[in-house]
Structure 1
Amino acid sequence: MGTDAARAWGPMRFPTPAWPGGVAARVERWLEVERGQLFLWVPVMIGAGIAAWFALPDAARWGAVILGGLALAAAALAAGRSGRAARALVWAGLLVALGCALVWWRAERVAAPVLARPAVVQVVGSVERIEPMPARELVRLRIATDAGNGLPGLVRVDLAVKDMPDGLTPGARVRVRARLMPPAPPAVPGAYDFERVAWFDGLGATGRGFAPVEVLVPGRPDSGLRARLTAHVQSQVEGSAGGIAAALVTGDRGAISEEDAEALRRSGLAHLLSVSGLHVTAVVGATILLVLRLLALSPWLALRWPLPVIAAGVAGLAAVGYTLLTGAEVPTVRSCIAALMVLAAMMLGRQAITLRLVAFGALVVLLLWPEALVGPSFQMSFAAVTAIVALYENQRVRGWFERREEGWGRRLVRGVASLLLTGLVVEIALTPIALYHFHKSGLYGSLANIVAIPLTTFVVMPFEAAGLAFDAVGLGAPFWWVAEQGLHLLLWIAHTAANAPGALAMLPAMPGGAYALMVVGGVWIALWRTRVRIAGVVPVAVGAVWALTTPMPDLLVTGDGRHLALRMPGGELALLRDRAGDYVRDTLAENGGVDAELPALAEQRGARCSADLCMVTVERGGREWRIAATRSGYRVPWREMVAFCASADIIVADRWLPRGCVPKWLKLDRAQLEATGGVAITFGEKPTVVTVRRAGARHPWLAAETVMPGRE
């Protein structure tokens, strides 16, 4: 890449654009001042191409993005003599085209068949991975199935802990009967898209296995270092505290109860569970400190060898080992790359932590896993780090908090103020991301993190490490006790912040355009240094107003037609089927912008429901809407069904309805929902309908090759 920004944009001479003299001169002067920031836009432009591929529906438009980027580069080349602006346009066009082509190639490269429809089948194959989930009393198996059995090449099966046979370890060949289903698309617009995630992960089916589980060929004699460490940590610290302790060491979060995990999410502390920059930094810092202290015990070594360089090298190896141990997920890989760059800069005597380092880490991740861009993990990780580094690269902010000769009281106040400002800036950066992906964001995260981050970094993790080390000689118990008390304090902070009045901001699924504007504005503010960065406030403000003024959906219908949630006059969402599971309830509540239990629709005023059918009348936009739905799988006589449909504005069913069933406005039966997926409807003067599947969409996972085993 080179250290000089001009080299990063290429050694070639490019023509100067034939723009009006004054405009061209001002742009060139501005880019000359900002030349050190231009490399930071390399991953942004690649990301723009990747985002365009996900946002646009078909190959014709993906090709248009690639050709448009190349055309922009060619036009900039042909426009004039030389200039930084022309080079920037050339590289921008090439990088956007590269990003779009890269993710397109990646999506086609990972293509694998998926299960055609839900079925109870016999799965025979080799176990690739075992993930214990003690909080749910389950064990998750990732199985590579045998060829020729009509199943996808890779399936995921959940087993009850009591059904696990002895000796089932990674590498074993097993036979298990399971109910499998294809990876599920988003239940409603804005919900989690497991279908897309599974495509890039190679999963063709998921489901639940039944006893007995037969081990045909034993696997490896042990379960691996990661699994052994997880089991050991959880044997020292019980419950969710042990689950968090294991997550900090190995990245395994399966032992954390759903109640505690939700408290961590609501309080803004969930980032502590994902092994990323905080954890890698703690490992690197502890390794450097320990190695320096040990080597400095020898005067001969201290006088003859560059101990800081040696310590940095050992810390780099520790960072790589920790990344591999915790599963090498995207945030950990990004943090490891950043740590290695920091250590390399330290060894070379250069400034260590810069936005250029963050950009390089993002570039590596996007080149290896371009699909990571659209995941919340990548977005939140890089948004937080970019916000922190950009904040402290500002000379005024750096002047506020730099070290100086002063009393301990002032130092303490300055340190607390630094933590509070950092937490506030990170919360501002992460709130739009959390609201877009999860439809909720904790409002007290910056305050909770002031205590939680130092507690985790300087108490929990060091004492965990000491406990693991001293367990080798049977003396780890005191260290584990201290770590356990710290983890209980962490959970108390999470529950206190999560249950405080107004702790959670809820927002229904926001338009993609609003989110894109906020992202573009935020990146613009973070990456430029001159006053032009202020212009980024405009798209941020427009996107925020757009998101906040988007009306909440009045009716949510899941893609299978079994569940609907209707907004009642008081603003609450009422659920059609009383026995809907927790996942369905949470999904409908979050995407409807509600933080409360969903009452039964049959109990609401204006509802007339039987065991098989339900009719509800609500008033919106000056008119009455009559919504009808089926509630059971029992067949309704044809004439009654036709009359029932004719009396409704909207009919929802999880079955194929007869042709004679014609509602006044919209028919959402199985045939229609197979084409549209889940639906969100907003009533009013101009009713709007938003669907999960867009007409003409051709992403690979939407038209995947399917397989189906024959009947036994």
Structure 2
Amino acid sequence: MIAHMVSDVPQEKGREPGDAALQRPWRKAVELSSVLASANEFLATRGFERVPWLAIALGSGISLWFFLGQPWQWGATIALAMLCAASAHYCWREKQGREYLSVAITGIGIAIAMGVALIWARSELVGADPLSRPAVVTIDGRVLGREDQPALDRTRLTLAYRDADGGAPRKVRVNVPTSAMLDDIEDGARISLRARLIPPSPPLLPGSYNFARTAWFSGLAATGSLIGEIELVEASPPDRWNLSQLQRALSQHVRHQLDGAPGAIAATFASGDRSAIGAGDEVAMRDAGLTHLLSISGLHVSAVMAAAYLLLIRLLSLWPWLALRVRLPLVATGIAAGAGVGYTLLTGAQVPTVRSCAAALLVLGAMALGREPLSLRIVAVAAVCVMLLWPETVVGPSFQMSFAAVVAIVALHRSVPVQRFMAPREEGVIRRSGRRITMLLITGLVIEIALMPIVLLHFHRAGIYGAIANVFAIPLVTFVSMPLIAAALLFDIFGLGAPFWWLAGRSLDLLLAIAHFTAEQPGAVRLMPQMGAMTFALFLVGGLWLALWQGRVRLYGLVPAAAGTIALLATPTPDLLITSDGRQVGIVGEGDRLLLLRDSKSAFLRDNLLEMAGTEGEPLPLDRWPGARCSREFCTVTLRRGERDWHLLLARGRTLVAERALAAACARSDIVIADRWLPRSCKPRWIKADRRLLSRTGGLTIDLKTGTVTTVAQSQGAHGWWPQSRR
């Protein structure tokens, strides 16, 4: 009957009954199976590499734990990820046309769940509850670490002791003036002292550096400073293999051979000790985009391993008997690996150095096995190793910057246009050198572009001319300064290192000249306000898509990157910056200078406020601004934003005032800010940011045009380092 009814329908001449659906595809519902088949075909034909994507999924799980604030959300994320993995595995594992998709969803789901569980367990195992309040305590404990900081005229001691009240073990960090420091205090010594301790500070403002989180994963309960003198109760046990003492001795030896700033930088390259670098040189290196040269990382470890490998392979090849019987690359690789591990241990074995050493060892292993030495798979394996050991580093700038730079370099050199440009050909020395210099400049530019979102997220500033400075600075350090320092140390054994030290000093003078010249150029540094998490996620997705895919499909990564750029440029600068204690208030938008409630001597506080305001130059105290009326106790300010005036009342002093007068002043104000508890009779028209509110929210930023209030507490949740999570 159905066939008969169809046959009775009038047909257009020359058209079959099914042609209408073919001519009008928008009327045909898209089947889920066709979408899945297309996704599977995409993965099968676009060079899908599993290891890098699994590393990204593991890092995404770790990042989700930091982003999500509550334990039930962490558990739900693990359950949902495992459910997706199990569903993909059991439903699609035997279906034709979905093999790649099944493997991808299964692996990514397991990796995300593993990432959340890994960082959750890490937090519970190593996290240390901070001190509840500032206190003066007597410490009788062991020295876990000693860090000399001659540039700051102090020594930083990490101590372990038991609390006198409850007997709970604590790990604290105490700053000791150089004049009060005893030479006999080394790792393992038992000392007695009095110190003023304070809990690790949470972010000063939304988006600022979170020292409380860093201290939590370091096991630090408090930091403080010495009161009085130190008593040595028990000397450290003799230890011939004390790497900390060896590191300090090497640093002192280098600084003795080279005076001033070159000696401080040479000590950094030789031992990883950057504590003697002056503040001016550090700022110049940072603004010139050369700070990475001062952190012992991939560049330095790779240079040491490469030098050891090339030197050994040349020397061993001079012995014909050995060259005919042993695979020299294997021997040279093993010794170079040992040199890299030794250099890593000597320079303090910090997380960035260990990460770089692990990646370099994988490269050496690939070379020894005859595999491609530089690939995204090797980078991903190194990243997974670091995340398994230190998952908390995923949200830190060191991890993000180092791996972003390496991924950018590998992806750039894997691209077809670059491979064609760098392919060997018959040409003269000048043309060949020109191509290499051009490629070096392009590589530096790509690295700067890749690192800029990370730098803006964490430091709210970015160097504009860093790519050009690195073109000259990286070859100078890699091929001149570090080999000269190594030769000087070697010839110091025979007392003949002076000429090499002189040459090394001149090369480091040139490095500092490049840094200062670059940093002093107009527009060398660009300050930006806080970058939102979603904006950074757009840059991250776009960058990873560009790096991990091949062919034209990788260009789709430009879409989220462009959206992130637009979102970043559209991010408004907050009008008010209120610190977590309420003692400092920054006002933005009244001229080119940042207005501060109090004239602070703290460089850390001033720099944080300037970065969050996106403003350069010296801040102006509010009582010197013509638009403010200030007394000893309060300042009143009227700000014009949008279509209305905002009236602010800001507390300055600690003297008690009449409650009735305060209540009347509050009633005339839209916003009241104070570093103390205000009575309930103080009722402004909008916000009362006193000690009661700020103790719950932490620092605040306020955008008056949109009425948006952003707090530190919004990004902390129930994580252990946030004080409110323990109340």
TM-score clears 0.5: yes
Q: 1:390 to 1:466 in 2, by over 3 A?
A: same
Which stretch shows the higher mean deviation, 635-644 or 159-168? 635-644
1:238 aligns with 2:255: no
Q: 1:322 to 1:78 in 2, by over 3 A?
A: same
- The one-letter code sitting in structure 2 at the alignment partner of 1:125 is G
Question: What does residue range 301-312 of structure 1 map to in structure 2 within 5 Å?
Answer: 301-312=322-333
1:351 CA displacement: 1.2
- Write the deviation string for residues 611-639 of structure 1: whole angstroms up to 9, x where unpaired: 22111111111111111211122322323
The residue aligned with 1:692 is 712
1:170 aligns with 2:191: no
Determine if contact 1:114/1:704 at 8 Å carries over to the other structure: no
Structure 1: gaps spanning 5 or more residues: 1-17, 708-712
The residue aligned with 2:81 is 69
Q: 1:491 to 1:78 in 2, by over 3 A?
A: same
What is the CA RMSD across the aligned residues, in angstroms? 1.8
Which residue, out of 621, 630, 650, partners 2:642?
A: 621
Structure showing greater relative contact order (alpha-carbon pairs closer than 8 Å, 6 or more residues apart): 1
The residue aligned with 1:590 is 611
1:696 CA displacement: 8.4
The residue aligned with 2:529 is 508
Q: 1:194 to 1:331 in 2, by over 3 A?
A: same
1:161 aligns with 2:178: yes
The residue aligned with 2:270 is 249
C-alpha distance in structure 2 between counterparts of 1:488 and 1:232, whole Å: 19
1:605 CA displacement: 2.4
Which stretch shows the higher mean deviation, 416-425 or 333-342? 333-342
1:227 CA displacement: 1.2
Determine if contact 1:646/1:664 at 8 Å carries over to the other structure: yes
- Write the deviation string for residues 236-283 of structure 1: whole angstroms up to 9, x where unpaired: 222332222122122211111111111111110001011111101100
Which stretch shows the higher mean deviation, 513-522 or 193-202? 513-522
TM (norm. structure 1) is 0.94
- Write the deviation string for residues 266-325 of structure 1: whole angstroms up to 9, x where unpaired: 110001011111101100011112222332332222222222211110001111111112
SS in 2 for 1:79: helix
1:431 aligns with 2:452: yes
SS in 2 for 1:232: helix
Determine if contact 2:413/2:419 at 8 Å carries over to the other structure: yes
- The one-letter code sitting in structure 2 at the alignment partner of 1:43 is A
Q: 1:467 to 1:706 in 2, by over 3 A?
A: farther
The residue aligned with 1:362 is 383
Question: What does residue range 602-641 of structure 1 map to in structure 2 within 5 Å?
Answer: 602-641=623-662
C-alpha distance in structure 1 between counterparts of 2:650 and 2:369, whole Å: 69
Greater radius of gyration (CA): 2
SS in 2 for 1:212: strand
- The one-letter code sitting in structure 2 at the alignment partner of 1:31 is L
SS in 2 for 1:700: coil
Which stretch shows the higher mean deviation, 228-237 or 187-196? 228-237
1:609 CA displacement: 0.9
Which residue, out of 60, 69, 72, partners 1:60?
A: 72
C-alpha distance in structure 2 between counterparts of 1:126 and 1:697, whole Å: 34
The residue aligned with 2:469 is 448
Determine if contact 2:67/2:715 at 8 Å carries over to the other structure: no
C-alpha distance in structure 2 between counterparts of 1:95 and 1:386, whole Å: 20
Determine if contact 1:152/1:204 at 8 Å carries over to the other structure: no
Structure 2: gaps spanning 5 or more residues: 1-29
C-alpha distance in structure 2 between counterparts of 1:58 and 1:28, whole Å: 35
SS in 1 for 2:443: helix
Determine if contact 1:167/1:218 at 8 Å carries over to the other structure: yes
The residue aligned with 1:386 is 407
Question: What does residue range 396-415 of structure 1 map to in structure 2 within 5 Å?
Answer: 396-415=417-436
Question: What does residue range 122-271 of structure 1 map to in structure 2 within 5 Å?
Answer: 122-148=138-164, 153-220=170-237, 224-271=245-292
SS in 2 for 1:642: helix
- The one-letter code sitting in structure 2 at the alignment partner of 1:515 is F
1:21 CA displacement: 5.2
C-alpha distance in structure 2 between counterparts of 1:342 and 1:582, whole Å: 42
SS in 1 for 2:91: coil
SS in 2 for 1:153: strand
Question: What does residue range 552-563 of structure 1 map to in structure 2 within 5 Å?
Answer: 552-563=573-584
C-alpha distance in structure 1 between counterparts of 2:492 and 2:40, whole Å: 63
Determine if contact 2:162/2:169 at 8 Å carries over to the other structure: no
The residue aligned with 2:52 is 40
1:38 CA displacement: 2.4
1:539 aligns with 2:550: no
Question: What does residue range 250-399 of structure 1 map to in structure 2 within 5 Å?
Answer: 250-399=271-420
Where do 4+ consecutive residues of structure 1 move more than 6 Å? 704-707
- The one-letter code sitting in structure 2 at the alignment partner of 1:76 is A
1:106 aligns with 2:122: yes
C-alpha distance in structure 1 between counterparts of 2:691 and 2:532, whole Å: 26
- The one-letter code sitting in structure 2 at the alignment partner of 1:155 is V
Determine if contact 1:560/1:673 at 8 Å carries over to the other structure: yes
1:330 CA displacement: 2.4
1:118 aligns with 2:130: no
1:367 CA displacement: 1.1
- Write the deviation string for residues 353-411 of structure 1: whole angstroms up to 9, x where unpaired: 11110000011111111111000000000000000000001122111023333111101
Q: 1:294 to 1:211 in 2, by over 3 A?
A: farther
Determine if contact 1:126/1:143 at 8 Å carries over to the other structure: yes
- Write the deviation string for residues 190-227 of structure 1: whole angstroms up to 9, x where unpaired: 10000001000000000111331111111245862111
Which stretch shows the higher mean deviation, 142-151 or 259-268? 142-151
Which stretch shows the higher mean deviation, 349-358 or 300-309? 300-309
1:581 aligns with 2:593: no
SS in 1 for 2:496: coil
Determine if contact 2:129/2:720 at 8 Å carries over to the other structure: no
C-alpha distance in structure 1 between counterparts of 2:503 and 2:665, whole Å: 65
SS in 2 for 1:465: helix
C-alpha distance in structure 1 between counterparts of 2:143 and 2:580, whole Å: 32
The residue aligned with 1:653 is 674
Determine if contact 1:112/1:705 at 8 Å carries over to the other structure: no
1:575 CA displacement: 0.7
C-alpha distance in structure 1 between counterparts of 2:444 and 2:501, whole Å: 29
SS in 1 for 2:273: coil
1:539 CA displacement: 1.3
Determine if contact 2:491/2:497 at 8 Å carries over to the other structure: yes
Determine if contact 1:614/1:631 at 8 Å carries over to the other structure: yes
- Write the deviation string for residues 126-149 of structure 1: whole angstroms up to 9, x where unpaired: 111111111111111011113545
C-alpha distance in structure 2 between counterparts of 1:402 and 1:606, whole Å: 65
- Write the deviation string for residues 525-571 of structure 1: whole angstroms up to 9, x where unpaired: 11111332222211111112111101101000000111110114324
